[in-house]
Amino acid sequence: MNGHRIINLRKIADKRGNLSFIEENSEEMPFDIRRVYWIYDVPGGEKRGGHAFKENEELIVSLSGSFDVILDDGREKYRYSLSRSYYGLYVPKGLWREMDNFSTNSVCMILSSVDYDPSDYIRDYEEFLQYIGNRQHCL
C-alpha cells in the first residue's frame, strides 16, 4: 500500500526510559532518507505547512508534545493527531499538507526523501488542484 498511513516504529521499552529508532533499510521505512528537519517553538494557535510536494515523500514524527497533520488529496481531508514518538505518519508525494494544534513544547521531526528544493513545492491551493487533475489525466 502506497497511501498515507501511520507506521509503527521500533520501540525498546525500558524502565530507564523508552528508545525508538528508524533505519533507512528497515522494512517499515518507505523511502531512502535524504534530509531531516524539525519544527519547534511553535506559538499557540500557529499553523505550519500549507503546501504540497511534487516529489518529496515524508515521515512525520512527534518527538515531544502533540500536533495534528491534515492531508488533502483534493477530494477528502484526513486529520492525524500525532503525540507518540513511536508512530510515524507517512506522507506520499502529491498531497496538500498542513499542521496545526501544536501543544506547548512540541517538537515535530520530518524525514524527507529529497534535498530541500523550492521548485518541488506547490504553495497555491488552486495550482495544487490543477496539478493533481492533470496527473490523474496522465495515469
Residues that bind ligand TYD (CB under 6 A): 35, 37, 48-51, 116
Indicate if 51 belongs to the active site. Answer: yes
Which of 51, 54, 84, 93 is the catalytic position?
A: 51
**Do residues 53 and 128 touch, judged by C-beta distance below 8 A?**
no
Which of 30, 50 has the CB closer to ligand TYD? 50
Distance CA 73, CA 82 (A): 19
Distance CA 103, CA 45 (A): 9
Which of 49, 92 has the CB closer to ligand TYD? 49
Q: Which helix (H) or strand (E) holds 80?
A: strand 77-82
Which of 50, 65 has the CB closer to ligand TYD? 50
**Do residues 85 and 62 touch, judged by C-beta distance below 8 A?**
yes
Nearest distance, CB of residue 85 and ligand TYD, angstroms: 20
Nearest distance, CB of residue 97 and ligand TYD, angstroms: 9
Nearest distance, CB of residue 36 and ligand TYD, angstroms: 9
The position carrying cell 508512530 is 87
Please identify every residue annotated as catalytic. 51
